[in-house]
Chain A
Amino acid sequence: MTASVTPEIATGQTGTVVRSTAIRRLLKNPLGLASVIILAVIVLLALFAPILAPFGENYANIGKTLAAPDSVNILGTDSSGRDVWSRLLFGSQITLLSAVLCAAVAVALGLPAGLIAGYYGGLFETTSNWVISILMSLPGLIVLLTIRAAFGPSVWISMVAFGILISPSYFLLTRTAVRAVRNELYVDAARVSGLSDLSIMGRHIFSVVRAPIIIQTAGICGVAIAIQSGLEFLGLGDPTMATWGVMLSEGFKNVYLTPTLLLWPALAIALTIGALVLLGNAIRDALEDGEKIKAPKVSKVAGSVKANTGNHAVQKGTEHHLVKVTNLGVGYPQADGSIKKVVDDVSFHVDRGEVLGIVGESGSGKSQTAFSILGLLPDTARIVGGTIQFDGNYTVQPGDDRVNQQRLSKIRGRRVSYIPQEPMSNLDPAFTIGYQLVTPMVRVLGISKSEAKKRAMKLLEDVGITYPERTFKAYPHEVSGGMAQRVLIAGAISCEPDLVIADEPTTALDVTVQAEVLDLLRGLQSRLNIGVILVTHNFGVVSDLCDRVVVMQNGRLVEEGDVREILRNPKEKYTQTLLSSMLEGKTPMTMLVSTVEEVAL
């Protein structure tokens, strides 16, 4: 196995690099730092308890029971005259050790079992599932009571038992992660490279589960401490040991005399578990890619200043355009307060009955432009400039920093509608296709359900579905992708809109189905005389449907014009490059964009 030496070293190196940045990010987070400090202090106190504690854990001064704090007993004494501070210190030893024992047992059982079950499945997985369904149907405390009844009071036995009981949480976590990774293409690539299963698990799969396991362990330790203390509180722990649970129990017995006895162990428990919980959260945050984007106050203030409630009139002479976008800018606030623009200074218009194509590569801002017309940008998006008007009224007025939802909700679904890219994910899997067609009509047009059903049948027939009745009753998972896209098109035209915005409507479909859907769209568009904004990366689709074309790159509008003009005589260099990348009409086996030397650059 000399072969595996090289990659192993590489993994180690990579691992440390990744981890060190995560640790740095963890310590930068104030809550993360606080939790690390609290835990470190508790661990140190536990380690040096024999030195730090002024009294033995069971040393009882019978002459000084339930004493208030003084210079000798800094937290007072309990009902047997034992020093509370000393007992707290010794208690931390047992508490921490038992939590670690429990987590260790749970990891040792759950992690390997989860790896094997997730990677190989089969009989091992079936058997594990049975064991787990049994373990998970047993309440922890009841099991610990049973163990106590069988084996007598022992912290260690009960924590081993609880470790076994809670191991499914690691099993499930690992198995889910492994299953997700097992089908990743990089695991296939590793298999093609001849890596053994063991190397694949160690190299590609363990690295994925490592972080979730650490987070889970923080939580499990907290749960172990809680349940351990609970058991001791019931008086079922080892009476010879000073533990926080036993101290709580004693405090509760004297609750009428000295309720403060309850306070210290409760505080210790809450502080320790709380620090573990915060640590887990902080690790999760540290590992999550990309810092969380805080809504910057600057833009909020700017927005509130600029927020104008009055209705501006659109520029004279532009009222007749169905949609007019003027100098539109869309951006996303970043963590450092800057705004990342994804659409910058874009202007175009669409008239009634006209098909406008927005063409561009990924990251060109074409979809963001379309969604700002629909008012369906993500919550974090901001309009950073320009206006949008629909049928002579602003939906984004000069100075608005968001799309005005009030104005848009009056036209969305009614006058503007949307055809998405992925047919399947755009239907709610829990409702029938019929329901999803009927409801918008009932809500928007205010017609009765039976009337809407009649219309829906007609629509399904119009979009070329052979058995409308059957499709109407079907759930989305029962129809094909092509049929689902027809259903979505039916939905888009159901309320007789003036404008349809189609975002890559055929990209997810097979070429033969794409041709059918294009035929359908063309037929509907000319019959109903609706305006269409078609967002696509495919010039073939553009030439099939569009009257005019807008070319976008990196958020900016590069070129605009008649479809024949743009496709045959593009003026801009970028449009020329795009068109020269097309394969249609090229000599096979020749270089497309690069000379031979350029390939290597």
Chain B
Amino acid sequence: MIKFVIKRLASGVVVLLAVSVLTFSLLYAAGGSIARNILGDTATAEQVALKEHELGLDQPLFVRYFTWLSNALKGDLGSSWFSSEPVASSLATRVPVTMTMVISAMIIIAILATLIGSAAAVKRGWVDRVVQIGAVIGDSVPGFVIGIFLVTILAIQLKMFPATSTIAPGVPASAWIASMALPVVALIINGVTGGAQQIRSAVIKQFEKDYVRTLRSRGIGEGEILFKHVLRSAAPAGLTVLSLQLIGMLGGVVIIEQIFALPGIGPLAVTATSQSDLPVVMGIVMYTVVVVIVVNLIVDLLNGWLNPKVRVS
């Protein structure tokens, strides 16, 4: 088991390095004149050259990458070219907001999708039809469009929730909850409808297995068959779906935060992107990939734990 974890961690590090090389070269090789972008059209050629030297842009790409990497290993991801704020510290203040939402959304999705999906698989009939229709609607309306309408109707028109966030360091938890309620709802709807649909089909597939019939013949009750055997066997499929949803959500949350004006990663990412603030963009990509690697590791471990073939050997 330990060997398994080390192997997965090592491959995670390789992925992280590969992504950093790719992103770094993409960002720095493609950008036309970064210094001119920063200084504006009125800057003279000398000023531009001076700025390029200051940012280290006159050095070859691989030298710049290794400088970045060695700094990054020390925890220094550089500073914003525009605000001069260190990337690491602006990530540190914003990641908690984003991750609070993402993690709570994922927990809610996991619970609701499992309950609804299993109910649809077991009861069939109208529950099943509602889930099927819900899945089509969920697939049709992007999460951010749902977010826009939630804000417009519930916050702006009906004034039931704050339209913009009141989250700041030191505000009470109730303010966090009030500010995050709608964004989380916007984040989970697609996940719940899609996830319920997937869990429904995984559960139906398991119920068709021979061993279920044998369990019934032994006098084991339907509830025990569902919760102990079927859901357990359907879990790997469910975990894969959830991990893919989480990866997607790391992107989706950017738009949601923008809509609800939440001080998470989203607004930082949008500003940095439109300004081509490359150190910040690079930092955001790295944070995302680290989250994804950790999530994938957890999913692998859970799957290994669920599968006796892996666990025993």
Contacts and interface: CB of A to CB of B under 8 A. Distances in A.
Contact of B274 (A236, A256, A428): A236
Nearest to B229: A428
Contacts of B308: 429-432, 475, 477
Contact of A426 (B23, B157, B214, B221): B214
Contact of B218 (A139, A229, A277, A413): A413
A290 to B, nearest CB: 16
Contact of B248 (A139, A146, A150, A219): A139
Interface stretch (B62-70, B181-189, B286-294): B286-294
Contacts of A150: 26-27, 30-31, 276
A478 B312 contact: yes
Interface stretch (A55-63, A262-270, A536-544): A262-270
B312 A430 contact: no
Given A150-B26, A412-B219, A270 B152 contact: no
B211 A428 contact: yes
B219 A477 contact: no
Contact of B288 (A139, A430, A444): A139
A430 B209 contact: no
A420 B209 CA distance: 12
A4 B271 CA distance: 58
Contacts of A379: 124
A547 B76 CA distance: 84
Nearest to A251: B148
A414 B251 contact: no
B211 to A, nearest CB: 5
| Chain A interface mostly | helix
Contacts of B307: 430
Interface stretch (A9-17, A129-137, A315-323, A460-468): A129-137
A139 B210 contact: no
A443 B219 contact: yes
Nearest to A437: B218
A147 B276 CA distance: 10
Nearest to A273: B140
B37 to A, nearest CB: 10
A495 B273 contact: no
B156 A142 contact: no
A327 to B, nearest CB: 25
B141 A270 contact: yes
B272 A149 contact: yes
Interface stretch (B51-59, B84-92, B104-112, B252-260): B252-260
Contact of B136 (A229, A255, A278, A429): A278
B234 to A, nearest CB: 11
A545 interface: no
B247 A136 contact: yes
Interface in B12-55: 15, 18-19, 22-23, 26-27, 30-31
Interface string A255-286: 11001001000100110011001100100000
The CB with the most chain A CB atoms within 10 A, among B23, B144, B221, is that of: B144
A248 B11 CA distance: 41
Interface in B263-290: 269-270, 272-274, 276-278, 281, 284-285, 288-289
B281 A149 contact: yes
A138 B292 contact: yes
A488 B148 contact: no
Given A417-B218, A439-B220, A422 B210 contact: yes
Interface in B91-130: 124
A134 B19 contact: yes
A226 interface: yes
Nearest to B267: A234
B281 A236 contact: no
Nearest to B277: A149
B233 interface: yes
B251 A141 contact: yes
A234 B156 CA distance: 20
A409 B281 CA distance: 62
A423 to B, nearest CB: 10
A142 B269 contact: yes
A219 B139 CA distance: 9
A145 interface: yes
Contacts of B293: 137
B27 A138 contact: no
A229 B217 contact: no
B149 A266 contact: yes
Interface in A365-403: 374, 376, 379
Contacts of B18: 134
A413 B220 CA distance: 8
B216 interface: yes
A570 interface: no
B250 interface: yes
B214 A420 contact: yes
Contacts of A133: 11, 15
**Which 6 pairs from chain A and chain B are nearest by CB?**
A413-B219, A141-B251, A274-B140, A418-B217, A139-B251, A226-B142
13 contacts: A137-B292, A137-B296, A139-B292, A144-B251, A226-B142, A229-B144, A236-B270, A269-B145, A376-B216, A425-B211, A429-B309, A443-B224, A488-B214
Interface of A: 133-134, 136-142, 144-152, 219, 222, 226-227, 229-230, 233-236, 248, 252, 255-256, 259, 262, 266, 269-270, 273-274, 277-278, 281, 374, 376, 379, 409, 412-414, 416-418, 420, 422, 425-432, 439-440, 443-444, 475, 477-478, 488, 491, 494-495
Given A137-B247, A270-B141, A428-B233, 9 more contacts: A141-B255, A142-B250, A146-B273, A146-B281, A219-B139, A227-B142, A229-B142, A234-B254, A281-B136
